[in-house]
Amino acid sequence: MIRSLIKLGLLLLAGILVYNYFWGTTEEKAQSKEVFKKTGDALGAAWNLLKSEKEKFDAGKYDKVLDQLGNAYKAIRNQAKNVDEKVLKRLDELEQRKSSLEQELGAIESDEKASSTGNGDAAAKSADQQRRKESLQRQLDSLIRDTDALLKEAQQ
């Protein structure tokens, strides 16, 4: 229902802008041109953001962080004789989360490769990939915070 209202509102807004652009007064035409220009600038900036994120993703932005987490987990395991059982259980849980994130990263990468060869709805696929990357980034940030907390606890 709300989605339909939003679509209807956007369609109405676009209709008004197009009408004013061609048949409006001089002031309305100027406003419409301004809106179209700003919309184009915003879309261009969003496109540049997506391109830079894709470059970072292709360069292994997430792989490096996951590798560093794996090394930290190994270091904690090596010091296991000095760590209590509760820390080891939390470490197991963090390693499972890391493994899950690695699988998700692999799925995103394979979907990206598949979508680059296909010619379906590219905009929808790109938006979905971006949402998946943002979710992966949030989960990765959370995992890093939890790992930092575990490392601090293990050092005490």
Q: What is the pLDDT of residues 82-125, one digit of tens each?
A: 666 777 788 889 889 988 988 888 888 888 777 766 655 667 77
- Is the predicted pLDDT of residue 81 greater than 60, yes or no? no
Cβ atoms < 10 Å from Cβ of 128? 14
- Coil, strand or helix: which one is 156? coil
Are 153 and 91 contacting, i.e. CB atoms less than 8 angstroms apart? Answer: no
Q: Are 139 and 83 in contact (CB under 8 A)?
A: no
pLDDT at 80: 60
Cβ pair 136, 108 in contact under 8 A: yes
Report the mean per-residue pLDDT for the chain. 81
Is residue 76 within 8 Å of residue 150, measured between CB atoms? yes
Provide Rg for the chain, Cα atoms.
24
State the pLDDT at residue 30.
Answer: 92
| Under 8 Å between Cβ of 40 and 17 | no
Best-predicted range by mean pLDDT among 14-28, 42-56, 74-88, 140-154? 14-28
